[in-house]
Structure 1
């Protein structure tokens, strides 16, 4: 199936055609993570706590993958908007080679630094969780490398408008992963390690399918120029920094839950964060699906089109954020009971989930403004906005609230930081110069 025409005047239909597949793909990701946690929860509270504490490690590598991928997707769409197919192929080659090098280097470094990393997470040698963590860690590292390469393939396809292809292959990966989880975790008796082994098997199959998709000459990656690498970094580094800081902050917050609370506190917060992914990832997916339209409008020098796409996405995302916030507030006990291994843990999860849900409308606003800033290659403001909720806003709030509330202050601090991040996005959207006057429209998209 040929990718859709990014200049199609029927914007609502085109936005749905691009945004909904990416949203569905990340919804499958969220479903996979929740189901994965559900299977591990059957092994007991301690394996669930280890999974919760170590899951953000994957974000350290994924942050770089997302940074490269967003830059590559934006440059690909801009090149196609300027009718430069060779540039689009060159961007793909640079993105994949860069990702492969980073995967090898960073995963090797993590492998060698296993003991210090587990120590930083609070898993000391005498801790009963340490044995589980040591067995799981090597397999987790290998899944990080696979995820980084998959991220590049997904973003490159999205940049070409092939969101449907991305959805199909994400469905293949996550569906196969979910199907293999019970086999490796319970059937073959690998326990917690089995969850990572199932992921490795699913990733191998999916990357093979991506290799076939990139085989035709029209989209085959090449390395005939390296100039786009600078723009790729300028576009993607703010988002990479945002994801990286978010990951480090989540690791630190989960560590605080263990230190200030106990294993059950950690497991409950981990469950609440995973359940919230059911909403967060689809919203991020829809915003990412609209990014090619924003970047294409910039490449085509069409400010009116840029304005229309931005406003359409803003209405859709804020509506979804408000609706799901209400739904989670009402259904939190049911959602917690579906995954928690017992009523006590479910009872601890419910208030955390409700607190976190309050920030969803503000998250929606921040996502859409940040995607626009990335498409406009406005790295300073994009970085400032992206680093706000899990960085320079969160930690002062934790410093104020933890001495007063103890471990009970973790979720309110996370929510308040998200709300303030939404307020910052609103200020940026309304401040001069307006976001509908992109500075780079005067730039050559091939620069």
Structure 2
């Protein structure tokens, strides 16, 4: 990208109407996250026809998926931050070296995970929280997930790499294309070919290969940095740069995996229905998370440009706009979810009354604190973009690490299953309280 284009981008980011600018940048991210959430939900929906234990197996797989996402985001954000700076300085060769290093490192990391995971598949499924009845379903489901791990990590890495270069549309095509194919293959493999839960897993694996290919093609478009093997440079200096930019994402996704493992193991003592119900609730709530996260990703570049230019008024304006855009839709969604929780859960397993009862309680707990989601997310993204590494990491770690894990150990012995279901919304309230002084200190620093 030449200097004139860089100047035009800078002018656009620092002078265009903030609301319109954030909206235009957020739409591709919202679409990617929304389609991915719909795919995850439909995947769970089709698997639910195979029974409660099969549904629970999808939930057991979540911590492993979180690890794959954590590593993919680590390489994507770690290389993307560096490449954005190098492109601005017109150091194109350095950018190419980092892109290749991040890409091939992600693939190697995925291959290592696939090898070790496949060799110890049964112990891995047990560790993730599978009961005796969930174990065979979990084994069949995770087998193909592990095979697809290298492609999944590289897809996440490439999508973020394209986003940092201002090519969100190419990333959207790759991610959405794979998700749509997955939604088509799921019923074909499960109901037509009768491959059961292994068919759902195979559909996910193949869709990740398709996304991988589309994103790789997208990296060759326009002025995007091309990934070439000759630029693969696995040096200590390059990996240090990746750690600088990718560590917060690794921590955030990593703690999601750890909390998921503990949640499954705690819930498993109350039966497969408990794990299955939590799986369904999580998949449905990811829809709200896609809206919030997509708007936050649209806010981040606007925040970064204007904070760097010391245009703090625009940063604050963008924060207010994004917070309202996140929170206003959550009000009716939370109310509708609370009222129609039984009907929503019954869509997945209409014949399992115990699952519906547990899922309804969990869903209503989550709806009661859904309004905090926007505030927590926008503050976290603002602090990370500003380079407030400690505050951003603390807030990112707080929700599922600092608060949720201790609450699981405290509330479960006292309230049983209800304690497990209440641990996440209780953690949301505590995280919201923590975010207030952190946010106040950041705004206090931003003086015109």
Question: Which one of the candidate residues 333, 346, 360 is aligned to 1:350?
Answer: 360
In structure 2, do the counterparts of structure 1 residues 25 and 221 end up closer, same or farther at CA, with 3 Å as the change threshold?
Answer: same
Q: Counterpart of 1:440?
A: none
Question: Which one of the candidate residues 223, 227, 238 is aligned to 1:221?
Answer: 227
Q: Counterpart of 1:103?
A: 110
In structure 2, do the counterparts of structure 1 residues 435 and 406 end up closer, same or farther at CA, with 3 Å as the change threshold?
Answer: farther
User: Matched residue of 2:371: which SS?
Assistant: helix
Q: Does residue 1:21 correspond to 2:28, yes or no? A: yes
Q: Counterpart of 1:200?
A: 205
Q: Counterpart of 2:196?
A: 191
Q: Shift of the alpha carbon at 1:168?
A: 2.4
Per-residue CA deviations over 1:33-58 (Å, capped at 9, x if unaligned) read 11111100111112111122223211
Give the stretch that moved more between structures: 391-400 or 65-74.
Answer: 65-74
**Structure 1: stretches of 5+ with no match in the other structure:** 438-447
User: Matched residue of 1:161: which SS?
Assistant: coil
Per-residue CA deviations over 1:142-176 (Å, capped at 9, x if unaligned) read 23322211111111121122222222222211111
Q: Counterpart of 1:209?
A: 214
Q: Does residue 1:269 correspond to 2:278, yes or no? A: yes
TM-score w.r.t. length of structure 2: 0.88
Q: Counterpart of 1:147?
A: 152
- Compute the RMSD of aligned alpha carbons: 2.7
Q: Does residue 1:319 correspond to 2:328, yes or no? A: yes
Q: Does residue 1:366 correspond to 2:376, yes or no? A: yes
Distance 2:314 2:92 in 1: 22
Query: Is the 2:63–2:256 contact (alpha carbons within 8 Å) kept by the matching residues of 1?
Result: no
In structure 2, do the counterparts of structure 1 residues 166 and 402 end up closer, same or farther at CA, with 3 Å as the change threshold?
Answer: same
Q: Shift of the alpha carbon at 1:237?
A: 0.8
Q: Shift of the alpha carbon at 1:134?
A: 2.3
Per-residue CA deviations over 1:250-278 (Å, capped at 9, x if unaligned) read 1211221111x111122112111111111
Q: Does residue 1:173 correspond to 2:183, yes or no? A: no
Query: Is the 1:235–1:375 contact (alpha carbons within 8 Å) kept by the matching residues of 2?
Result: no
Query: Is the 1:27–1:282 contact (alpha carbons within 8 Å) kept by the matching residues of 2?
Result: yes
In structure 2, do the counterparts of structure 1 residues 299 and 75 end up closer, same or farther at CA, with 3 Å as the change threshold?
Answer: farther
In structure 2, do the counterparts of structure 1 residues 195 and 28 end up closer, same or farther at CA, with 3 Å as the change threshold?
Answer: same
Q: Counterpart of 2:51?
A: 44
Query: Is the 2:80–2:165 contact (alpha carbons within 8 Å) kept by the matching residues of 1?
Result: yes
In structure 2, do the counterparts of structure 1 residues 373 and 46 end up closer, same or farther at CA, with 3 Å as the change threshold?
Answer: same
In structure 2, do the counterparts of structure 1 residues 229 and 289 end up closer, same or farther at CA, with 3 Å as the change threshold?
Answer: farther
Question: Which one of the candidate residues 131, 134, 152 is aligned to 1:129?
Answer: 134
Q: Does residue 1:400 correspond to 2:405, yes or no? A: no
Q: Counterpart of 1:414?
A: 424
Distance 1:238 1:419 in 2: 22
TM-score w.r.t. length of structure 1: 0.89
Give the stretch that moved more between structures: 398-407 or 228-237.
Answer: 228-237
Q: Counterpart of 1:443?
A: none
Q: Does residue 1:387 correspond to 2:394, yes or no? A: no
**Structure 2: stretches of 5+ with no match in the other structure:** none
Q: Counterpart of 2:63?
A: 56
Q: Shift of the alpha carbon at 1:359?
A: 2.5
Q: Shift of the alpha carbon at 1:195?
A: 0.7
Q: Counterpart of 1:287?
A: 296
Distance 2:227 2:330 in 1: 37
Per-residue CA deviations over 1:16-74 (Å, capped at 9, x if unaligned) read 11112101211111111111111001111121111222232111121121223233344
